[in-house]
Chains A and B, each alone.
Chain A
Amino acid sequence: MRSPSTTGSRWSRSGLLALLACLALVVAITAQTPDPSTDYRRRWADVGIGSWGEVENASVRVTSVRLTRSAVQSTYSDPLRTEVTFVVVTVEARVRQHQVYFDNLTLHTADDRDYEPRPDFIAAELAATPPGFTRAGTEVFEVPTARVPSAQLWFDADGAAFDVYALAVRVDLALDATTPVEPGPLQIEETTVRATP
């Protein structure tokens, strides 16, 4: 027969071990959980050209896609030429509730590479837009010609919370090897903004 003190000591040890095991589990989960500020979870919406998708505080869509090897923004500047391909994407965004910056637009290729817009056309791009306004813009991506087929435009999230999925949109640009490349130079218009009707 065990004495009460022996039983109590065993319970005490078991309780302490269980508590430590639980705390170790919490530490392990915390260490393994991605940092929501940098590696957040997304809920992707896959849409086609002309269809609206939802990101945080905005609806976005692609209105046209063209390929060229030469583009120009202003009549006062020389056209920009490339040996590869410019993918010229016109986009539209309706912003709600809070200002949206559209800092995370990329062209994503089938071999999992991301291309950012050419900075030469920054005056044409989607930019910070206050709520209640619709902005139209043009993004120009310089992409190796072999990577153009099946490319998508990604409207990625600007950030996320720890308890919800961030909204993001992937647009299939319907590009394949037969998509014609226009001789250019294509005229790239400056971004425009107007109150959303």
Chain B
Amino acid sequence: MRARHPAGRWRSPRLAFAVALLLALLVTGGEGYLYHARYTPASGPRARVGETVTLAGTTIEVRSITVARELPVADAGDPPAKGPAGSVLVLVTWVQTLDETVDVEDHFCDAALVADDGTTWADELDYTYDLRRPKSLTCASTDDAPMVAGKPATIGESYVIPASYASRVRWRLSLDDDRHVVEFVP
């Protein structure tokens, strides 16, 4: 009868292979999970226009979500802005205040319109660059409209969407690489 060291069964090549395989599976599975998690934004609170939500040091109050075929431009003498055939324009205005815990320079955020079927619209300026709206055009601090912690900033972002989606879109603000998400409904 062959003698076996008690530790031998824990050091067998088969076990080592199993450990390596398990490790490989964990790495592969983890990478897949992280990839899909990145493209599946976390769900967060949902609010209505006029309500205030505070998330990750950012306080957001959506003042209006205006949906129309035409919207007035900044220069009163010019004709209103309108999008391509079959579209409507959407102008979202909100007040955003960052507290002292937020690094204003690295305040990564993304605002978009979303629908239940997963369709997502980024803001656009081709058709809406001259709309009458606040000076800030994005949720992040820019040279034209710098943000200061503790000081409310009024922002206006515009979108062009098919008219068929006019009554079924929500406005979504994502913070910190989609780790914090809030949605507002008209």
Listed in ascending order, the chain A residues whose CB lies under 8 Å from chain B are 1-5, 7-8, 11-12, 14-19, 22-23, 26, 96-99, 130-133, 161-163, 192-197
Contacts and interface: CB of A to CB of B under 8 A. Distances in A.
Given A12-B11, A17-B13, A131 B5 contact: no
Considering the complex of A and B, which 9 residue pairs feature the smallest CB-CB distances, nearest first?
A195-B86, A8-B5, A22-B20, A132-B162, A18-B13, A15-B11, A19-B16, A195-B162, A11-B8
Contacts of A15: 11-13, 15-16
User: B84, B117, B164 — which one has the most chain A CB atoms within 10 A of its CB?
Assistant: B84
Interface in B122-165: 122, 124, 160-165
Given A12-B11, A18-B13, A197 B20 contact: no
B20 A130 contact: no
B119 A4 contact: no
Contact of B162 (A4, A17, A19, A133): A133
Contacts of B161: 130, 132
Contacts of B86: 194-197
A11 B162 CA distance: 68
19 contacts: A4-B4, A7-B2, A8-B6, A8-B7, A14-B13, A15-B15, A19-B17, A22-B21, A96-B119, A99-B121, A99-B122, A130-B124, A130-B161, A131-B119, A132-B161, A192-B84, A194-B85, A195-B162, A195-B164
The DSSP consensus for interface residues of chain A is: mixed
Contacts of B32: 163
Contacts of A192: 84
A2 B163 contact: no
Contacts of A162: 31, 35
B20 A19 contact: yes
Nearest to A195: B86
Contacts of A96: 119
B165 to A, nearest CB: 6
B3 interface: yes
Interface in B92-113: none
